Amino acid sequence: MKSFLNINLKKYNFRAIFIQVLLFALAGIIVLKLGFHQILQSGELRQKASLNRRSDRDLYFRGEIFDRNGIRLAGDTTVYDIYAHPRYYVRDKGPKVIAEALSKHLNQPEWFLRNKLSKYEYSTISLAKNVNLNIVEQNIKPEISRQKIRGLDFVKKSKRIYPQENLASHILGYINFEADLAAGVESTGEQNLASLPKTSSVEYDGRGNVIYELNTDPKIATEPLKGSKLVLTIDSAIQHTAETELAKVARKTGADRGTVIVMNPGNGEILGFALYPTYDPNRYNLFSPSVIKNWALSDVYPPGSTFKLLTIAAALETGAITENEKIDDTGKIEVQGWEIRNHDYYKNPDPGLIGLEYLFRHSSNVGSLKVALKMSPYDHYRMLNLFGIGVKTGIDLPGESAGILPGIEKWDKITQGSIGYGYSIATTPIQMAAAVGAIANNGVWITPHVIKNHNDPEKIKKLRILSEKNCKIITELLAKSIEKGTPDAGKFPKYLVAGKTGTSKKPNPNGPGYSSKEVYASFIGYFPASNPGALIMVVIDNPKSKNAWGSTVAEPLFNSVAIEVGRVLNLKSDYVKSSQR
């Protein structure tokens, strides 16, 4: 009995000692491991813990776009994309239950959603995109939670919205984040709009809640980061008027297209830039590329009689003519086998000696041709280059064309002469606005632009191309020609207008020459003539109404827009009746 007890005690002591040694060994390993992590690796582990608590916020807002008066034209909002994962819901009940829960909120038929959800061969199924934040968080998520539906994924993202819808759509453009496409200032203003502010890091707990520290800014911690705002030179009131009045005229005349550009000639700021037809950038994918593009920048046209402004200005500046010049207007003339006629030849076949004011008022083709030929080809070409003809203006919008100005080596007598009255060349409406803007600005050409807060002043170029004296001569001649012209052409209360009409034939799309039926009706003018505060360029493409001319289509549109521009800008009246001068 005693020996048996001794044997058991020995076994027991051995096991106890073994277990104790094992426990002490394990405890020693743990202590050593803790010491290694907490002492030797403390810095590295603290950094990893901090990184685990941080979250790189992939949701950010693009910068907002405002007009010159602070009206919001573009911004971002939060939406959801909804996806389903078939492996997480039951085959027989899942599609039916989920379709019933979602259809009323997504405005999709139950059968349509059920068919989508039944595609078990896919790991992920897209159910809806760009779903309103409130619909998801206030309606869909609570219902999904109540019914304990599994297999749905809600991905939060930002979406670009344009709260004014069609207003200034061709200036704003659009952005497609998925395809990395953009137009308008959404493209040219990308550097500002996408530049995020530098902020301190924000830490989150395991449930995604913000860990607030003493210096944590609640607004920065809870709201998406936002890019820098962009302020435009556009005035929404002027833009709305230009778009509304343009649409009225285009529909009334059955025109294919039209544009109205309103610019401050003193600094090159575009106050309004309307195009017809227009589009809604919120739904840009529903419109054709021909509607979305800003054709007033990209497409060229023969400017016709509005170009006579530049011809006379260039001839005065080069000394080819004087302000009292008399030109023998024979009504028609033949140059190198081409016969050129005045538009009113059959009513007034031989005007005789005419002055420059008469040339503008009656839009004499023969007179303009003869003035052009008084200049040497070199001087004429040089002046057109200075006016920016055949050169991009550098406006801060994408897609601009340089226009067409034949190289001087291609100039013969008929080419130079026809350029004098606006043919044998092609310009864009914005080129013409900038060129005539230089006359209104006492001879200084300025880059037209739509972004007000340019970071790089070099983007806005200024170039003196005419003397102040010659600009005043041109302005006075234009103002007199308007005042003595037809009753309503370019006239409206309070202001003297310096302007010129244009009616040019459209180039033949199927070959050389010009159409016998289709025209561009245009008018360009600035006011008050004594101190120009606004310049308006109007071009109507192919008006189909009877007697469609610059004076009957474009000038009335100019008047209706100019009245509102004068009111919005509070321009000082300079109109005095001739009898009171």
Predicted confidence (pLDDT) per residue in 557-576, tens digit? 999 999 999 999 999 998 76
In the predicted structure, residue 200 carries a pLDDT above the cut 60? no
Residue 352's contacts (CB-CB under 8 Å, 6 or more residues apart) are 328, 329
In the predicted structure, residue 56 carries a pLDDT above the cut 50? no
- Would you give the end-to-end CA distance of the chain in angstroms? 146
Amino acid at the residue 142: P
**Cβ contact 296:395 at 8 Å:** no
Do 396 and 502 reside in the same domain of the chain?
yes
Domain CATH code at residue 132: 3.30.70.2110
Structure confidence at residue 581 (pLDDT)? 46
Domain CATH code at residue 547: 3.40.710.10
How much is the average pLDDT of 321-344? 95
Residue 27: inside a domain, yes or no? Answer: no
Amino acid at the residue 118: S
Name the residue with tokens 């595609």. Answer: 119
pLDDT in tens, 454-484: 766 778 999 999 999 999 999 999 999 998 8
User: What is the C-alpha to C-alpha distance for residues 400 and 398, in angstroms, rounded to an integer?
Assistant: 6
Residue 73: inside a domain, yes or no? Answer: no
Structure confidence at residue 36 (pLDDT)? 64
Position with higher pLDDT, 413 vs 228? 413
Give the end of a domain, one of 142, 161, 180: 161
Q: Which of 366, 361, 363, 331 is nearest to 346 (CA)?
A: 331
Structure confidence at residue 485 (pLDDT)? 80
User: Mean pLDDT lowest for which of 171-185, 249-263, 272-286, 410-424?
Assistant: 171-185
Q: Which of 112, 134, 135, 136 is nearest to 125 (CA)?
A: 112
Give the end of a domain, one of 146, 161, 176: 161
Structure confidence at residue 35 (pLDDT)? 66
Query: Over pLDDT 70: what percentage of the chain?
Result: 86
Do 285 and 372 reside in the same domain of the chain?
yes
Do 466 and 345 reside in the same domain of the chain?
yes
Do 249 and 130 reside in the same domain of the chain?
no
Residue 216: inside a domain, yes or no? Answer: no
Residue 49: inside a domain, yes or no? Answer: no
pLDDT in tens, 123-162: 899 999 999 999 999 999 998 888 888 889 998 888 899 9
User: What is the C-alpha to C-alpha distance for residues 321 and 327, in angstroms, rounded to an integer?
Assistant: 10
pTM of the full structure = 0.84
User: Mean pLDDT lowest for which of 7-21, 70-84, 408-422?
Assistant: 7-21
**Cβ contact 102:151 at 8 Å:** no
**Parallel/antiparallel/unpaired status of strands 60-61 and 225-226:** parallel
Structure confidence at residue 224 (pLDDT)? 67
Q: What is the DSSP secondary structure assignment for residue 235, as one 8-state letter?
A: -
Q: Specify the number of domains making up the chain.
A: 2
**Cβ contact 255:518 at 8 Å:** no
In the predicted structure, residue 521 carries a pLDDT above the cut 90? yes
Residue 194's contacts (CB-CB under 8 Å, 6 or more residues apart) are 62, 63, 227
Amino acid at the residue 431: Q
Residue 486: inside a domain, yes or no? Answer: yes
Residue 431: inside a domain, yes or no? Answer: yes
Most confident of 21-25, 223-227, 233-237: 233-237
Residue 439 is encoded by which pair of tokens?
A: 């006359």
Do 423 and 555 reside in the same domain of the chain?
yes
**Cβ contact 385:394 at 8 Å:** no
Residue 94: inside a domain, yes or no? Answer: yes
The rounded mean pLDDT for the chain is: 88
Structure confidence at residue 196 (pLDDT)? 74
Domain span at 416: 236-580
In the predicted structure, residue 203 carries a pLDDT above the cut 90? no
Position with higher pLDDT, 485 vs 375? 375
Structure confidence at residue 325 (pLDDT)? 96
In the predicted structure, residue 51 carries a pLDDT above the cut 50? no
**Cβ contact 230:71 at 8 Å:** no
Give the end of a domain, one of 161, 196, 213: 161
Residue 370: inside a domain, yes or no? Answer: yes
**Cβ contact 551:240 at 8 Å:** no
How much is the average pLDDT of 60-89? 91
In the predicted structure, residue 44 carries a pLDDT above the cut 60? no
Do 118 and 258 reside in the same domain of the chain?
no
Structure confidence at residue 52 (pLDDT)? 44
pLDDT in tens, 414-470: 999 999 999 999 999 999 999 999 999 999 999 999 999 776 677 899 999 999 999
Structure confidence at residue 13 (pLDDT)? 72
User: What is the C-alpha to C-alpha distance for residues 430 and 269, in angstroms, rounded to an integer?
Assistant: 12
Residue 17 sits at φ, ψ, to 5 deg, of: -65, -40
**Cβ contact 141:212 at 8 Å:** no
Do 145 and 245 reside in the same domain of the chain?
no
Helices (H), 213-293: 218-222, 236-253, 289-292
**Cβ contact 301:506 at 8 Å:** yes
Alpha-carbon distances, residue 503 vs 360, 423, 487, 514 (angstroms)? 13, 11, 19, 13
Do 154 and 243 reside in the same domain of the chain?
no
| CB burial string 396-423: b at 16+ within 10 A, e below | bbbebbebebbeeeebeebbbbbbbbbb
Do 511 and 365 reside in the same domain of the chain?
yes
User: Mean pLDDT lowest for which of 83-87, 104-108, 189-193, 453-457?
Assistant: 453-457
User: Mean pLDDT lowest for which of 75-79, 316-320, 332-336, 366-370?
Assistant: 75-79
Do 241 and 151 reside in the same domain of the chain?
no
**Cβ contact 227:194 at 8 Å:** yes
User: What is the C-alpha to C-alpha distance for residues 189 and 212, in angstroms, rounded to an integer?
Assistant: 35
